[in-house]
Amino acid sequence: MVKVKVRSLLIFLSVCSLSMMTACARQGPHKPVATAAEEKSPSAGTKMSFTDVRPLFARHCTPCHTWNSDQPMAESKRDRIGAMVASKAMPKADPAKQVSITERERTIIQRWATGENGGTQTTVTEVGVVRDVNLALASRCFSCHGPQGTSGSADFPNLAGHDPAYIVGRLQYFMDPQARGTVMPAQMQALAKEFGLKAGDDAKTIATLTYLGDFFGRYRLSVTSDDTAALRKKLNAQDKLQYQNGKKLVSENQCLACHLQPDFTPTPMTPMIFAQKRGYLESRLAEFKGGQGGMTMPDIVKPLSESDLSAIALYLSLTHPADGLQ
């Protein structure tokens, strides 16, 4: 079984290196990746519904405004939203993001604002009505992972800051019926059915997963270093020692070599591990300790004890990437 998975990842990697060089390469800040979906602007006269703009509001207008889920409120502001977006006065720059709005996204919002449609709430299954299936799919992840990739719940991991190609690999993995996980395998397999995603190297599926990787990975965490510092202050004396121990272990084991570069991004195909949810880190490290969960990490954690791993999880969860290099 493991062999089969390794092979499908290798196929994915070679697809990546042959035909998707630009999409798979790590992009610097403020350089939107032109995914297949972004290349074409919607043609003139295409009617836009609230379903088309809702994920764009969540992506570019949250957390400063709250129209992302409130159709009547958004519709009552149509004119002003259209004017603000057309004049480029909005969206205001958000320091938590590395993602800027694209011209195509501006066009979609403007089309909606000029009211070329009845403003009806549509569903993804009406594929003829919803033009951007990728955006519709991304909006299905918000409830657990947050609209900008920082999750609001202790049970769901952050996606912000991960290398986009790492997210793609994980999503492909979760589509495998043998995948391990409490929530994602069932989620991904149901979404794959609904959105027509296929296993293996189906080009349309890889384009969609690449879109999701870029969408979530290229946000910065909205947790700040003040937030993590405040949480550390609340630790009891024993946990403070654990925290220091975790810090020492991370430095001695050269975890940063792969997980944090000087620009605070991880190396290609690697997750952001700082300010990640503690319970999630613990369960992943335990998975690696059991020889599963990845191709690189099981060997790395082999010499570490269970109490080492729990100190590491505590340290990582309460350290912002900006403080991780110190």
Q: Which residues bind ligand HEC (CB under 6 A)?
A: 60-61, 64-65, 77, 80-81, 84-85, 90-92, 94, 137, 140-141, 143-145, 155-157, 159, 167, 170-171, 181-184, 187, 191, 212, 250, 253-255, 257-259, 269-271, 273, 276, 281, 284-285, 294-297, 300, 312
Q: Can you spell out the DSSP letters for 120-158?
A: ----TT-TTT---HHHHHHHTTHHHH-TTS--SSTTS--
**Nearest residue (beta carbon) to ligand HEC:** 294
Q: How many residues does the chain have?
A: 326
CA atoms within 13 A on the CB side of 39: 4
Classified as helix, coil or strand, 21 is helix
Count other C-beta atoms under 10 Å from residue 316's C-beta: 24
Strand partners, 97: 219
Q: For ligand HEC, give the closer residue by CB, 220 or 259.
A: 259
Give 6 or 237: the residue with its C-beta nearer to ligand HEC: 6
C-beta of 245: minimal distance to ligand HEC in Å? 13
* 143/305 with CB nearer ligand HEC: 143
What is the closest distance, in whole angstroms, from the C-beta atom of residue 325 to ligand HEC in the complex?
14
Beta carbon of residue 46, minimum distance to ligand HEC (angstroms, whole number): 19
Give me the least distance between CB of 132 and ligand HEC, in Å please.
14
Q: Which C-beta is closer to ligand HEC: that of 218 or that of 259?
A: 259
Closer by beta carbon to ligand HEC, 187 or else 237: 187
- What does each C-alpha distance from 25 to 34, 62, 164, 268, 269 come to in angstroms? 12, 27, 9, 8, 10
Q: Which of residues 9 and 233 has its CB atom nearest to ligand HEC in the complex?
A: 9
CB of 169 to ligand HEC, least distance (A): 8
Helix (H, G, I), strand (E, B), or coil: what is residue 312?
helix
DSSP 248: H
How near is the Cβ of 122 to ligand HEC at its closest, in Å?
Answer: 19
CB of 66 to ligand HEC, least distance (A): 10
By CB atoms closer than 10 A (0-12, 13-18, 19+), residue 112 is buried
Among residues 131 and 284, whose Cβ is nearest to ligand HEC?
Answer: 284
- 171: nearest Cα among 199, 145, 203, 204: 199
Instruction: Please calculate the CA angle 267-317-322 and round it to the nearest 5 degrees.
Output: 55
